[in-house]
Amino acid sequence: MASEEQARARFCLEQLRTSPKTPRRNFLIFMSYVLDEEPAAVVAKRYGVTTQRVFEIKREMLRRLEVMLRELGMDPRGALICFSSDVHELMCFNCL
């Protein structure tokens, strides 16, 4: 994927993180569960929520990311957002 698209994906994630609509705990839950691929039960226990709440936060955050990606001209159906915990760098890959 082109670095411009990666930059757009990074921008969207940063917007999500800094949005007043995003409680810090929710963002950390999203990062742990979706991007770091930790089990929902582990994340739920760490943050004192139910696994159902972890799933709800994931859906909410992905929905918001989808809107942001569309606003930047990206097709979210063709994008997979993943996180490399080694270097903590967001990358966006087109899926064919």
Query: Is there a domain that residue 69 lies in?
Result: yes
Number of domains in the chain: 1
Structural element, H or E, at residue 49: none
Query: Is there a domain that residue 68 lies in?
Result: yes
Query: Is there a domain that residue 75 lies in?
Result: yes
> pTM of the entire structure?
0.76
d(CA 81, CA 70) in angstroms, rounded, equals 14
Secondary structure of residue 36 in the 3-state scheme: coil
Query: For residue 8, what are the domain limits?
Result: 3-91
Residue 29: give its domain's CATH number.
1.10.10.10
Query: Is there a domain that residue 27 lies in?
Result: yes
Query: Is there a domain that residue 96 lies in?
Result: no
pLDDT digit string (tens) for the chain, length 96 residues: 457 777 777 788 889 999 999 999 999 999 999 888 999 999 999 999 999 999 999 999 989 988 888 888 877 665 544 444 333 444 444 432
Query: Is there a domain that residue 35 lies in?
Result: yes
